[in-house]
Amino acid sequence: MATRTTRRGFFRGAGRSAAGFAAALALAPPSSHGVAEGAQPAGKARYWNKLEDGTLQCVLCPHACNIPAGRSGQCRARAARDDKIVSLVYGQAAVVKAEPIERHGLFHVHPGTSVLTMGTAGCVLACKYCSTYTVSQGDPENVEAQAVSPEHAIESAQQAGCAGIAFGVNDPVVQLEYVIDTAKLAREAGLYTMAHTSGFINPEPLKEACAVIDAFNVDLKGFTESFYRSVTGGKLAAVQAAIETIREQDVWMEITNLVVPGQNDKTTYVTKMCEWILGTCGPDIPLHFAAFFPRYRFAAPAYSATKADVLRDLRKEAYKAGLRFAYVGNVPTERAGQTTYCPKCLQPIIERLGYEARNVAFNSKSRRCMACNCEIPGVWSTGVVKPTPPPPRPEPEKKAEEKPAAPAKKPGAKPSAKKEQPAPAAKK
């Protein structure tokens, strides 16, 4: 597990290493759009099958696209070519930039460090409010990209002074082969990695990612199937299964819930969501309530931004439900809602303003609150503090022991003279 962040780095905050980053980018040779001839190693797409009738089926995400020759899947990032499914985005970075890890809704992972954020064209979902839709809903052939090999990504991150690499912008699921290849190299090079994902991915590829990724932020976009179907094109049950898998694989995870006024902001739904998180992941999984801003298909004036007070109220609901770390997101001026409080003595231990993190009472050596010595869960510079496991699930009710079936009556046999006993009268 990553142990790279220096204590000094923790205090320095965001806006780091911009000059170094620019220099690193200059190393990246531009490619033509989409997959350049010869630039894309053949067979780089995994997670697909050839069915008995010759159909090529991608099994990376629950859409399970059957892709006809020459066409792309629903995400636009994978296509059927020469009787196999290929990735159109392997190493084709549409976005490469250095930014604070806090931008990805990870508050308990190397706070105050920078990551090299990488994203491509394409996405497994089609959220109507997507903030990066020009890339995520774009076709790889039309979205400008530059070739960045896994080795080059590591080199660029190091030269930019980043402590890690973040796969985000679009859903990294569509470039999972690249994510895994790069994350393996990053670990060898002493960089941490994170994936900011919708969690719309099948369990087997997700488990492979869990083996090499240090942390996830999963967008749990709502808590009803109807919201998922109508607003994102995904399925809540599949995302819940992914969250359970990440938890079972023992990888650090934080959850973001983007709150869209009038769509997914009912307190009753949010309370149910918090209770589900508590029961599935335990009390220590940080939950970020993030503000929505009108954009893409949910544009103004029909839609308006989420008020900070709504997010603050939902944060209180999360605490009431039993979660121990809840935050307000996408409101850079928010101070209390972005602060990490010790769950035991309630002292502020890490403050944030904008995307700057400031250590006020966190002993990063012992990974404990300086005031009361409570251990704080997270992926810290000196090691990992695992979250408290979820409470045990209630035992499923045991079925009444099955009695052997009575022998079949012979035809013509007389009914038994024994009468059924009446139910005993209830005792008063």
Contact 214, 193 (CB under 8 A): yes
Residue 65 engages ligand SF4 in binding (rule: CB under 6 A): yes
Query: CB of residue 81 vs ligand SF4: minimum separation in angstroms?
Result: 13
Contact 151, 185 (CB under 8 A): yes
Residue 63 engages ligand SF4 in binding (rule: CB under 6 A): yes
- From the list 177, 100, 102, 89, the residue with the least C-alpha distance to 136 is 89
Query: CB of residue 172 vs ligand SF4: minimum separation in angstroms?
Result: 11
73 or 286, CB closer to ligand SF4?
73
- From the list 218, 248, 254, the residue with the least C-alpha distance to 236 is 218
CA contacts within 13 A on the Cβ side of 289: 32
Interface of this chain with ligand SF4, residues 100 to 139, rule: CB under 6 A: 124
Residue 73 engages ligand SF4 in binding (rule: CB under 6 A): yes
Q: What is the DSSP string of 302-363?
A: TS-PPPHHHHHHHHHHHHHHT-S-EEEES-TT-SGGGPEEPTTT--EEEEEETTEEEESSEE
- 66 is written with which tokens? 């059957």
Residue 78 engages ligand SF4 in binding (rule: CB under 6 A): yes
Give the distance, in angstroms, between the CA of residue 327 and the centroid of all CA atoms in the same chain: 16
63 or 221, CB closer to ligand SF4?
63
Q: Nearest to ligand SF4 by Cβ — which residue?
A: 73
Backbone phi, psi, residue 231, to 5° = -105, -30
Residue 64 engages ligand SF4 in binding (rule: CB under 6 A): yes
Query: CB of residue 121 vs ligand SF4: minimum separation in angstroms?
Result: 12
Query: CB of residue 78 vs ligand SF4: minimum separation in angstroms?
Result: 4
C-alpha–C-alpha distance, residues 333 and 125, integer Å: 30
Residue 75 engages ligand SF4 in binding (rule: CB under 6 A): yes
Residue 164 engages ligand SF4 in binding (rule: CB under 6 A): no
Site string for ligand SF4, 171-190 (x = CB under 6 A): ---x----------------
- From the list 347, 358, 325, 346, the residue with the least C-alpha distance to 256 is 325
Q: Give the bridge partners for 402, in sequence order.
A: none
- Region near ligand SF4 per CB under 6 A, out of 68-76, 227-235, 252-260, 412-420: 68-76
Query: CB of residue 311 vs ligand SF4: minimum separation in angstroms?
Result: 31
Residue 60 engages ligand SF4 in binding (rule: CB under 6 A): yes
Residue 291 engages ligand SF4 in binding (rule: CB under 6 A): no
58 or 281, CB closer to ligand SF4?
58
* Count of residues interacting with ligand SF4 (CB under 6 A): 12
Q: Which of 24, 58, 162, 209 binds ligand SF4 (CB under 6 A)?
A: 58
74 or 137, CB closer to ligand SF4?
74
C-alpha–C-alpha distance, residues 217 and 207, integer Å: 15
Contact 120, 94 (CB under 8 A): yes
Query: CB of residue 45 vs ligand SF4: minimum separation in angstroms?
Result: 9
Q: Give residue for tokens 């995302």.
A: 239
Query: CB of residue 282 vs ligand SF4: minimum separation in angstroms?
Result: 30
Q: Who's near 179: CB < 8 A, 6+ residues apart?
A: 167, 172, 193, 195, 209, 213
The site for ligand SF4 (CB under 6 A) is made up of 58, 60-61, 63-65, 73-75, 78, 124, 174
